[in-house]
Structure 1
């Protein structure tokens, strides 16, 4: 049995919350800076853009299944601090290589693989550490504050990132994110938190635990279609956002600021969707809410496919509506937590999707590739909508 969380949680949570907020805003800046760096600064091919995007997801596939186990065997605070230091170093290497005129696509892929590996362990440690920082009765409030900060970062951060990229260039903007992780590490190193003794001697049968989770999910009448639909969704999403960066930054030649504002639209409508999701779930049930929300994605990506075929002004308007719909749908359905190892499967799907998206743009062109993305999103809707999920009031 774990010890009770320490009573001095408020000051430590303030540090933890500040650290999370800083890194969230840094991440939002990189959300815009990274595509600009790859597509515009490095002039990567469509396939290389897909590889770079896939590299950001692959560590979840390789390490997601074991990160939770080792987070239970090591000190969570130490994991969190050193993961942030590792992310700061890997991101900080990008502007250094650029200044030395040595930054190329494949070294960047290696750095992103390292960055993602640190992120997997940081996520696992965060999930385990928060209940040690605040008392159990304050966990809901603490999680709400973290969610609010993250939503604010997703809403304001991309516009800030677009402005920074325009003023300083993409590599320097990424350096801002690196600094945010250093500050994150410093703040979390000063947390006053008592962790239970680490028992590394207790054997863990990872294969058995994963097998139990797989059997429970994929034999369940409602969780199975939800999981499969989500895997297909991540495949389409990985392909879609790879193609989107190529369309917006290369074919339509939009500025980094405009691109950042488009990403901001998705964050803003996502916040709106998240705020009304609970009432929608209560009114029509969780299953129907998920199915109806997912039905919005094919429409959104059809609009994205049309964007490069019209004038620039009309294309920007279509992208604005499309990303607004995408963010709204995501906010409406995102209350469902699939668990850490299932996130690993989802990130694997996203990595495959990113590779397929880049390859499709290279061989078919942007609009046909995006039409294919809309079709795959439709498959995700069909998997969920033709299953018992469409009738359930509450998803487990």
Structure 2
């Protein structure tokens, strides 16, 4: 930790990330509550709403990754934050004017998702310019811990705030958080040059996107973890969509209780992120991440088994705790490893390619989950999600990724 605190640029980046993450944890719940409770959306409609958030990753993700590698990342981050604040402000404004509808909500989420795509491609590629390579795993672990804290308190706070003030006001708070994040990011100074290599040479987007694809799927050890991540995200899209409908409609719990279950994801993630550095060193990248991937079906197994009594809430909270722990351990190790083996000039394309296809998988899984729930019931859809999680764990376990090891100190 002391080593990270010596890099002031990273500390400011960390703070800005914390501010926007707290706001986003509120909006993540508020958007779905607006759809289900206020606009009375069906399971399929909730799936379309969730898919709209990630559709830009499918449509222009590769292009954005290549473009990000051409420019300094800080101005991209600042501009995306300011723009997201404006876009989110449309929702409370529309609610105040009594013109909020599901098509408008989906349109806003689509634009917001496009801006988030740009931000994410630059965000994941920015820490290598702020800290030495040896501190990357620790740097990503601190970001994961911050996200975990936000996930812990954010949903509970959001549930209470939605009950008292309404979901649109909760979304307005997130808009303000993006403004503050952008202001702080504008003050960050990097320790190394950000400009991508070969910026004085003619550019060819098609060739550059191809370079990113080849690096991720052919010319590096990234292919097994990347491909199985796509499978994970398909069924995570199924589970996330159906989970909200299941808790609010099938079990009949309030948004506040939904927020409580999500808070346990944050608690588990905080614990996992704290242990991630040790787990990576002790077991190696491959074994540690594979173990986490097996925890996914275990955690989701609790959802279709839950009932509408106190024991059901305990099961849901336990499942979210295990899920959060697995993500908390997995994410910093995986991100540190990806960044450490990828050349600087390819970071934007590597992150853009990976996130694009992961989010494209949600675009498939979210509507599919909603449709299955509408036609065959929420519990059936949840069992489909559990089966998919078992599949991704088996595929990764049997791949060459099990031999991956950390090559730099945490």
Which sections of structure 1, spanning at least 5 residues, go unmatched?
Answer: 1-7
* 1:213–1:42 distance in 2 versus 1, CA, 3 Å: same
Distance 1:283 1:191 in 2: 34
- Partners of 2:221 and 2:204 lie apart in 1 by 27
Alpha-carbon distance in structure 2 between the residues aligned to 1:286 and 1:77: 29
| Counterpart residue number, 1:394 | 405
1:356-367 maps to which residues of 2 (within 5 A)? 356-367=368-379
Q: Partner residue of 1:292?
A: 291
Aligned to 1:336: 334
Counterpart pick for 1:122 among 119, 130, 133: 119
Instruction: Please say if 1:101 is aligned against 2:98.
Output: yes
Match of residue 270 from structure 1: 269
Superposition deviation, residue 31 in structure 1: 2.0
Q: What is the deviation of 1:173?
A: 0.5
Instruction: State whether structure 2 residue 148 is matched by structure 1 residue 151.
Output: yes
Structure 1 residue aligned with 2:158: 161
Q: Provide the TM-score with structure 1 as the length reference.
A: 0.87
- Give 1:370's match in structure 2, choosing from 369, 373, 382: 382
> For 1:167-206, what per-residue CA distance to the aligned partner results, in whole angstroms no more than 9, with x for missing partners?
1111111110011112222333445679767886533333
Give runs of aligned pairs for residues 11-160 of structure 1, distance below 5 A.
15-127=12-124, 129-130=126-127, 134=130, 136=132, 140=136, 145-160=142-157
* Native 8 Å contact 1:239 1:358 kept in 2: yes
Name 1:232's counterpart in structure 2.
231
Q: Are the counterparts in 1 of residues 144 and 328 from structure 2 also a CA contact under 8 Å?
A: no
Aligned partner (choices 373, 377, 383) of residue 395 of structure 2: 383
Q: Give a deviation string over 1:214-250, Cα, whole Å, max 9, x none.
A: 3444447964332221110000101101000101112
1:88-114 Cα offsets, whole Å, 9 max, x none, are 111110011111111111111111111
Structure 1 residues 13 and 388, CA, compared in 2 at 3 Å: closer, same or farther? Answer: closer
Change (3 A) 1:203 1:36: same
Residue from 307, 324, 327 that aligns with 1:327: 324
Change (3 A) 1:218 1:13: closer
Give distance in 1, aligned partners of 2:364 and 2:98. Answer: 30
Q: Evaluate the alpha carbon distance shift between residue 186 and residue 289 of structure 1 in structure 2; reply closer, same or farther with a 3 A threshold.
A: closer
1:36–1:170 Cα contact (<8 Å) kept: yes
- Provide the secondary structure at the position in 2 that maps to 1:82: helix
1:171 aligns with 2:168: yes
Query: Greater shift after overlay, 14-23 or 249-258?
Result: 14-23
| Residue in 1 that maps onto 2:249 | 250
- Structure 2 vs 1, CA of residues 44 and 286 (structure 1 numbering), >3 Å: closer, same or farther? same
Aligned residues: 384
What stretches of structure 2 of length at least 5 have no aligned partner? 1-5, 339-349
- How far off is 1:57 after superposition? 1.1
SS in 1 for 2:334: coil
Shift of 1:148: 3.6
CA shift in 2, pair 1:326/1:110, >3 Å: same
Shift of 1:284: 3.5
**Aligned-pair Cα RMSD in Å:** 2.8
* Residue deviations 1:301-354 (CA, integer Å, cap 9, x gap): 2220122xx332222111111111211222232221354111211111112111
CA distance in 2, matches of 1:229, 1:135: 29
SS of equivalent residue, structure 1 residue 295: helix
TM-score of the aligned structures, taking structure 2 as reference length = 0.84
Q: Which residue of 2 aligns with 1:345?
A: 357
Shift of residue 378 of structure 1?
1.1
Alignment of 1:162-201 (within 5 A): 162-191=159-188
